[in-house]
């Protein structure tokens, strides 16, 4: 996934502006979910490696676009607070690891990963359906 993340970051930096950034964020999140779901059931090492690279690429693009969205949509006086909240959410990332570690112990790695994938997919689809602002968000220069 790390290789994919570097590739995704380099591609987005080379590509530059993504006009329909909101749609791109939603699509990349769906692609991440699909790649990880397929990775979960893959039994072929080469296929698993390719799926991990794909997940890394699209997830890097997703995260970068989300960060750019915060930087461009939030007023100057609120930007620091918003990034504080954003980073606090990332700071709670290990807590999710504890939860999913418990699920792995109780169930299995595959079932636990699919629970996370399904949860992320449901949230992404809900945002896609109910948030016109996200779907229509553009990066105009």
d(CA 54, CA 3): 9
The band of 115, judged by pLDDT with boundaries at 50, 70 and 90, is very high
Determine the straight-line distance between the first and last CA of the chain, rounded to whole angstroms: 31
Residue with tokens 């749609």: 23
pLDDT in tens, 46-97: 999 999 999 998 988 888 888 888 888 888 888 888 888 888 777 777 777 8
Kindly tell me if the per-residue pLDDT of 4 is higher than 60: yes
Q: Can you give the pLDDT at residue 60?
A: 87
Helices and strands in the chain, H and E counts: 7, 0
Q: Which of 27-36, 84-93, 117-126 has the lowest mean pLDDT?
A: 84-93
The band of 118, judged by pLDDT with boundaries at 50, 70 and 90, is very high
Contacts of 66 (CB under 8 A, 6+ apart): 25
pTM higher than 0.95 for the full model? no
């Amino acid at each position: 996934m790390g290789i994919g993340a570097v590739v995704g970051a380099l591609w987005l930096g080379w590509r530059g502006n993504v006009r329909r950034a909101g749609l791109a964020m939603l699509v990349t999140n769906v692609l991440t979910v699909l790649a990880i779901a397929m990775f979960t059931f893959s039994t072929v090492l080469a296929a698993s490696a390719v799926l991990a690279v794909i997940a890394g690429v699209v997830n890097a693009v997703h995260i970068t676009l989300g960060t750019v969205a915060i930087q461009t949509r939030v007023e100057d006086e609120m930007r620091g607070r918003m990034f504080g909240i954003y980073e606090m959410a990332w700071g709670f990332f290990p807590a999710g690891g504890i939860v999913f570690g418990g699920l792995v112990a109780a169930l299995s790695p595959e079932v636990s990963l699919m629970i996370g994938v399904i949860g992320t997919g449901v949230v992404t689809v809900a945002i896609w359906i109910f948030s016109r602002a996200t779907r229509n968000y553009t990066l105009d220069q």
